[in-house]
Structure formats: structure tokens, C-alpha cells
Structure 1
């Protein structure tokens, strides 16, 4: 009996060691990739502080341009993820990053609303498949019981983008405000596209598609990781045709939940600098530094909620609580008015809740979809849900212009988040909480 316990202890220790090794080898670079992705997607929120007055754009034009990114994203999301599943993450992620870097930099040449809409649409086309592709990639390396932590580490890139991007964007706008060659917001798009271009080329020689190809794993470790994932595949859903896939009620429920959640995510991402500015501040560099605080608060929240969900196997409950907390923070940020300290505090609560829920969400579909269904399902849910990325900024911008009250849009965002927190409980199956 003692010998059996000792053997099991050694096996468990070996399993822990291999996933620790995988985490340290692949996750830092993946976080770097997503940091570049998110920075180039939402830096328009900082450019807005000067771009709108320079080009004569209204909040409604900005909201439509910020959101139209997701129309291109929607159209090409599923095809992009299916291509990644076929050709491998290394080549396809590199292609995505290089093309989006180029198109993001081209935002500096826009002069008219139509040009702004066009470049944002093309940026969405270029980025389509990146986030669901990375999430699919992680399912090749981590079984469900380890995935909550892995997704949590991955989504740390969003607050990191806020921590790095806020002060960086504010500093660029301040440093180049007297430039005679280009406006400061144009320098912002150019400078912040460079990291994505460099990292895109790095993907080609640093990323490994599957555990079996990793030279830094021993043969035993490769077998252990591969078998752990393969054992789970037998319990998951693999749709045999498009009709079966499209008729899966759980997939459509997840699309609705994710839609409500993304309303909140891009409410924060595209409007956070403006909310801080509306609280009574005008110094763009100070706004940049203060905008980093909510994201800094979110990092420990993401990690702790992911670990707790893995431990208690209650992913949906953790998700609901986190999203409700985020909604409360978001609504409070619209209520505090011209009080910068309270506005930042409320936004910190909102960011912690929203980003914790985001990291938890993707463990649900990844727990019961397999193979091509996982590739199409994750991309499809991300694709439909990310239409909220179009709705959210446009809705807030339209409500700002129509009601002349910047708080109404924030309350609307919080209401969508509450709906998502309740709706996730309708998703059936024990696997959803695994």
C-alpha cells in the first residue's frame, strides 16, 4: 500500500513538474503576443483624446469606427481558426500579427470618417482568429483541470496592456504634441505598431505547434501531456457536420453570454480614458498613468479567481459573481461624477470583475468541445460574441450624443453584464464546470 501511494505521489509530482515547465516555456511569450494584440486594438481610445478634435469627428463617429473593427473580425473569425487548426499556430499567428501591425500603423493617414471606418474594418479582418486561435492552442497543451489557470495567465495580457499602454500612450501624446511632422496621435499609431511587427516574426522561430514537437520536453513528458488531452477528447462533443454544430443549443447560449460580457469589456477598453477625463482631468499624461490603476488591480483578481474555479470546479458560479462585481463597478463609475479618485476606484472594481470573468469564460466551451468542433466552436462563440465589440462603443457613443449624459451609456453596459451573469446558469452539462 505504501509503495502504491509512493508511486502515485511520484506520478503526481511529475505531472505538476511538466505543466510548470510548459507554463514557463510558452505562457510568457503568448502573453507578450496578446499584449501587442490588445494594445493595437484599443489604442484608438487614447488617440481619441486628440484625434477627434483634429479631424472634426463626433463621439458617434468614433464609436462607430471603434466598433466596425468587429464586423471584419466577425466575418473572418471562424475561417481563420479553421485554417490555424489545419496549418498550425506558428505560421498562422505570425501571419496575423504581421498584417495587423501594418494596418494599425496605417491608421495615422486617415482624414475622413470613411477612411477611419475602412482602416478599422481591415484591422478587424487582419486580427480575426488571433484570440480564439491562442485559446485553441492552449487546449493542445493543458487538460481542463489546468486550463483555468492557463487562461488566467493568458488574459493577464489585457491588464498588462492597460498598465503598459496607458502610460505609454499618454507619454507619446505628451512628447509629440509639438511635432511639426505629424500629430501626436499619428505618432501613437506608428510607434505602438512596431512591437507587434517584431513579435510577429519572432513567432516563426519561438512557437511550437504541439507538445510532440517540443524539443524541450522529454519523450515521457510528451506522452504524458498528449495522453492527458486525448483522454478528455473522448468525453467531449465532436460535431459530425455543420448542421449538428449549428443546432447545438449550448453553443448559442454561450454566444449570448459572451456577447453580454464583451459589452462590458469594450466599455472599459474604449471609454476608460474618456471616463477619467470626464471626471475633471485634462492632462493626457496624467490620464494615461491613472488609466493603468484599474488594470493593475485586475491582475491578482484574474489569477485568484482562475485558481479558485479550478479548485472548486464551479466555473459558472465564479463567472457570474465576477461579472456582477464588474457591473457594479461600471455603474458606479457613471454615478460618481467629477470625482477622479472615486472614478478610478469604481473603474478598478469594474476591470477586476470584467477581466476575471473573461478568463473564466473560455474554460466552459473548451471543456466540452473537441477537435474541429473546438476550433469552430471557440471561433464561432468569439465571433458572434464579439459583435458586442461593435455594439458597445457605438451604443455608448450614441447615448452620449443623444442624451447629453455620459452616465446613461455606462448604466446600459452594466445592465448587459447582469444579463450575462444570469444567463450563464442556463448552460447545461457537468463538463461546463470542470
Structure 2
């Protein structure tokens, strides 16, 4: 495979202005969409604080239900991304958001373990395609040397969901508990489902499918972006057959790397409320406020690492460094003796592990384009997100057995270290674009 460096290191004022224009137009919608998506997939961690006791769910039952989201995600992600590529991002992303908004609201009526399992599976199936679809969508608008910042800006939706969503979830659960014969966790699911429905309509009205259809860009701007994207695709794999795609060894390496990082990501986000409560905090609102601190640290770290990666056009060490930082955070947080120490090192873990995702996506998008990117991104994401099933379920089982989160945190740190080592096995010339 031939790698061609297509972008000049000399600043281009016109190009910078044009790409900023694109970013200001599309990124706010996508960013808000990911905040809502992430909130609706992980707010079950807050619901557990009341829901598990009321419905009699064990730690393992919660972990299994939380993880089943990713089984639905796995089965429907690749076909969803292929349909997005064929039907257009506007229609398909709007469909995804409306569907998952309806399913999120239905959690209000959960009474049994199997209802919980079924709805988590269906929620994963409904949301499948949103995250990899946006990653693919950004390759239509930005060449590879400009993507890390855009990926990071989009990915900041996950810590932003923690910053705003954690206190919101805690406040709803405390303030609405018992009103209208509903528990606080039921109100939380209903209220937090509404934004997905609203934004689905906004996307249908305002999101453009491609550069060609963007009426807010001038002809010269469209031509420049088209040239950049075409030149950027030179030398990349463009297989359209899924059978051909799975024969690319590097795709499986990428999936393994991302699997390791996703283990840490969802081990952190789905269990953080429980970890903070275990440190001695009782108020749901206070758990939410303290839980926002690690996500604030994550946003700062994501901005620093992604800017540096694009500026230096170096991908591997910019991914290894936050993975190692996250591992240290998990190891120390596992044995924290106070709420203060726990929050400090959970913040370190969040800064590291949540910075890995946007930095990671600069790797596969540096070697895939076109139809291969549509299927390849979804395939990598769906395989890796099986870790989203394994991680919370594993921690739930370990907590039932040991009555502690320590061993689970050590295991998550081990996965981050393994991912970092595999990244260093990738030739730098293949991904440093």
C-alpha cells in the first residue's frame, strides 16, 4: 500500500477559513447528538442507584443488562453504516435518534430482569450506526490531517454528557422521586429521552449529506474540499466487499486495539456512580456533581492530545500516552482510601481512557476510504464495542464475588496497557499522515 502525504505543512489561510466554516456548521449538531447518545446509553449507571434495589437486581444482573446494549450494537452496526453511506447521513442519523429516543423512554416501564435485558439490547440495535456513522461522515468533509481535532470535538460529547448529565440525572432522581407514582429513575429515563426526539427532527432539517449539497459553501470552497478528499484517498484501501475487507490483517489489529480501550471506557462510565457512592457519598445529586469532575479533566486532555497529534502528524505515541495515563488512574483509584483520592485518580483514568477514542480513529481512517471506510469503521467499532458488553458484566460478577471493585479496576488497567503495546507494533509510516 502506498502512502502519500497530501497536505502541505505550510499554512493555507483560505483552506483554514473554509474548514473552520465547515466545522462551525456541522460540528455543533453532531456534538450535541453525541452528548444525548452517550447520556442515554450510560444513564443506566445512575438508574442503578435506585432501580437495582427496588427491582431486586444483583450486581451481575445490572452488569449483564448494561452490557447487552453492545450485543445489539454489534449485530446492527455494519448494516447501519452501509445504509448511511447509501441513503445519506441526514435521513439515517435522524432515524437513529428518533428510534433510540422512543426506546429510552420505554425503560420507565421495566419491572423484570428480562424486560431490562430486552430493552438494553434493542437500545443498542437502535443506536447502532450513530457513532461510526459520524466518524464516516467526517471523512466526507475533512482530509486526514484535519480529522483528529474533529474526532476529538465530536468525542468530547461523551465527557460533556458526564459533566452535564451526571448532575442532571442525580437532580432528577432526587427531585422527582415519588411524583405521579413514579420513582426517580423512571422520571430520569423519560425526561432524558426527549432531547433525542427533538434533535432527530433538527438533523432532518439542517444536516447536509455531502459537500456537494452544501448551499452555504461557495463553488471554489466545494472544489477545494473535493480535491483535498480525493488526494487524501490516494493509496488507501477502497474495497467495497465485506468479504474482501475482513481479509485486511490491519483491520483486525485495529479492532483489537480499540477493544482494549473500550474495556476501559465503559468500565469507567457505567460504574463511576457506584464507585463514587462506595467512597462514602450518599446524595444522588452530590454523586452527579463529583462525577462531573473526571469528565471535565477528560475534555481538557482530549483537546491537548488531539491538537498535538494533528500539529505533529504523529499518531502512535499520542495514543499510547493517554492509555498509560488511564491505566495508572485505574490502578490507584482501585485502592483509594477516601473520596478525594478516588475522584483525583478517577479523573486521571477518565482523562486517559476517554482521550484514546478520538486519537484512535485517526489510525483506520488513514488507511481506509470510500465504501471500505463505511464498512471498515463500522466493523472495527462493532467488534471493539463487544468490550462494552464484557466490561460491565465482568465488573458486576467480580463485585458480587469479592464485594469490591479492586480486581476489576486492575483488569481494566491491564487492557489499556495491552492496547498501548499493540499500537506500538503498527508501522509509523502507515498512520502518521
> What TM-score, normalized to structure 2?
0.96
1:4 matched residue in structure 2: none
User: How many angstroms apart in 2 are the aligned matches of 1:347 and 1:10?
Assistant: 40
User: How many angstroms apart in 2 are the aligned matches of 1:242 and 1:298?
Assistant: 35
User: How many angstroms apart in 1 are the aligned matches of 2:10 and 2:276?
Assistant: 53
Residues 319-352 of structure 1, C-alpha deviations (whole Å, 9 max, x = no match) = 0111110111112111113x11111111111111
Q: State how 1:29-428 maps to structure 2 within 5 Å.
A: 29-239=29-239, 241-337=241-337, 339-428=338-427
Q: Look up the SS of the partner of 1:212 in the other structure.
A: coil
RMSD: 1.4
Residues 362-409 of structure 1, C-alpha deviations (whole Å, 9 max, x = no match) = 111011101110001000000000000000000000111112222111
Measure how far apart 1:258 and its partner are: 0.5
Q: Which has the higher helix share?
A: 1
Q: Look up the SS of the partner of 1:210 in the other structure.
A: coil
Name stretches of at least 5 consecutive residues in structure 2 with no aligned partner: 1-7
User: How many angstroms apart in 1 are the aligned matches of 2:428 and 2:238?
Assistant: 15
Measure how far apart 1:163 and its partner are: 0.5
Residues 226-253 of structure 1, C-alpha deviations (whole Å, 9 max, x = no match) = 1100111122111253333111110000
Contact 2:240 2:371 in 1 (8 A): no
Alpha-carbon distance change, 18 to 170 in structure 1, aligned in 2, over 3 angstroms: same
Contact 1:110 1:116 in 2 (8 A): yes
Q: Look up the SS of the partner of 2:424 in the other structure.
A: helix
User: How many angstroms apart in 2 are the aligned matches of 1:177 and 1:38?
Assistant: 23
Residues 107-148 of structure 1, C-alpha deviations (whole Å, 9 max, x = no match) = 111111111000000001100100000000000000011001
User: How many angstroms apart in 2 are the aligned matches of 1:34 and 1:73?
Assistant: 15
Contact 1:250 1:428 in 2 (8 A): no
Measure how far apart 1:428 and its partner are: 3.6
User: How many angstroms apart in 1 are the aligned matches of 2:20 and 2:289?
Assistant: 33
1:3 matched residue in structure 2: none
User: How many angstroms apart in 1 are the aligned matches of 2:307 and 2:151?
Assistant: 10
User: How many angstroms apart in 2 are the aligned matches of 1:425 and 1:146?
Assistant: 22
Contact 1:254 1:427 in 2 (8 A): no
Residues 153-210 of structure 1, C-alpha deviations (whole Å, 9 max, x = no match) = 1111011100110110010011012324211100000000000110011110110011
User: How many angstroms apart in 2 are the aligned matches of 1:267 and 1:406?
Assistant: 10
Q: Which runs of 4+ in 1 moved over 6 A?
A: 8-11
Alpha-carbon distance change, 220 to 289 in structure 1, aligned in 2, over 3 angstroms: same
2:5 matched residue in structure 1: none
Measure how far apart 1:277 and its partner are: 0.5
Measure how far apart 1:9 and its partner are: 12
User: How many angstroms apart in 1 are the aligned matches of 2:28 and 2:209?
Assistant: 16
Measure how far apart 1:45 and its partner are: 0.4
User: How many angstroms apart in 1 are the aligned matches of 2:40 and 2:404?
Assistant: 29
1:5 matched residue in structure 2: none
Contact 1:253 1:426 in 2 (8 A): no
Measure how far apart 1:150 and its partner are: 0.7
User: How many angstroms apart in 2 are the aligned matches of 1:259 and 1:245?
Assistant: 19
Contact 2:242 2:375 in 1 (8 A): no
Q: Look up the SS of the partner of 2:363 in the other structure.
A: helix
User: How many angstroms apart in 2 are the aligned matches of 1:237 and 1:180?
Assistant: 56
Measure how far apart 1:54 and its partner are: 0.5
Name stretches of at least 5 consecutive residues in structure 1 with no aligned partner: 1-7
